[in-house]
Amino acid sequence: MWIGFGGDLGFYLNNAGAEPGSYRHTIPWFGIVMTALGFVMVVVARRRGPRQVLWATGAWELVDPSTPQEKQLVNVVEEMAIASGLPRPKIWVVPEKDPNAFATGLDENDAHVAVTEGLLTHLSRDELQGVIAHEMAHIQNYDVKLMTLLAALVGVIAIMSDGMARVMRFGGGRGGSRSGGGKKGGNPLAIVILVLWVVSIILAPIISRLLALAVSRNREFLADATAAQFTRNPEALASALRTIEDHHAPTTVVKRGTAHLCIADPLGRRLTNKQGFVADMLATHPPMGMRVSRLNAMAYKFKKTGELSSEV
C-alpha cells in the first residue's frame, strides 16, 4: 500500500501547483492497482504455492512404494505422523542426488513432505526418521504456512517494486516536467515523499527477504528441538545433519526463493557455515555446527535426566 499510495501522494503534491490544463494526479490509481495486484497475487500464491514449489523441483508423488527405500520412507512418515498427532502428509520424491528435504503446504490437512533421492541413499533409518520428524515439526508449528506466505510476500514485493521502478523511469519524468508551474523549487514536502518512495522501492525487496531469512533461521532451531521430542533420539537428527553437511554439492533443483524451506541450505552452504553479522543477516539457515551442538546437548541432558526440553 505504501508503494502504491505513497507514490500517489508524492505525485499529487508535486503536481498541486501545476499550471492550468497540466496533468494533476488526483485519482490514486497507483495505490488502487498495486493493492489489488498484491491481494490477488498473495491469494493465488497461497492457494497454488505448495504445488508450485513441488512442481518447480520436479518432485513426483510416492503413492505405491516399490523399492525397499521407498517402503521405508512411507513407514517412517507414518510413524512420525503418529508421534506428532498429525494426519499423514503426502510424500514426494525429488530427483536430486544431494541429500535434502523440505515440507510445504497450508496446514496439517494440506501438507506435503518431499525428500531427495540422495537423502534416501545416504541416510540410515534412524537418521531418516530424524529428518522426517524435523519436517513434521514444521507442519505442527505451522511453519509451512508461514514460509509459503513469506515466499509469496517476498515475490509480490519484488514484482511490485520492479513495476513501480519502470513507471518512475518512463512516466515520472514527464509528470515532473509539467509540474514546475513556473516555480524554481517545487513543493519541498512532495520532494521528501518522492525520495522516501524511491528508497522504499529499492529497499522493500531486500528488507522483506531479510525478514524471511531471519524467521527461517529461528524456526529451524525450533523444528530441530521438536523433532527430537518426536523421536526421543536427538543424536539421530544430529547425525543426519552431519551426513547432509558432508555432501557439499548444492541442491540444484531448489531455487533461491524457496531455499528457506529445506532442512539444509541448498545453495552451496558456504555462508551458512559462517558466523557473524553478515551470515546472521543473509544465511538461509543457522550454522549446521550450532544445530548439531544443540541437539547433542539435548541428547546429553536426556541421558542424564530422562527428559527432553526444547529450551536447549
Instruction: Identify the active-site residue in 96, 135, 235, 245.
Output: 135
C-alpha cell at 299: 541428547
Instruction: Give strand ranges (E) for 106-159.
Output: 111-116
C-alpha cell at 90: 503426502
Residue whose C-alpha cell is 539421530 = 236
Contact yes or no for 49/152 (Cβ under 8 A): yes
- Angle subtended by helix axes 29-57 and 7-15, to nearest 10: 150
Facing residues of 113 across strands? Answer: 91, 103
Euclidean distance between the first and final Cα of the chain, in Å? 41
Query: 3-state SS of the chain: helix, strand, coil percent to 5?
Result: 65, 5, 30
Residue whose C-alpha cell is 523441483 = 57
β-pair type (111-116, 101-105): antiparallel
Query: What is the 3 state secondary structure string of 94-111?
Result: ECCCCCCEEEEECCHHHE
Contact yes or no for 95/75 (Cβ under 8 A): no
Question: Is 135 annotated as catalytic?
Answer: yes
In eight-state DSSP terms, residue 124 is -
Greatest CA span in the chain, whole angstroms? 83
Give the 3-state secondary structure of residue 37. Answer: helix
Enumerate the active-site residues. Answer: 135
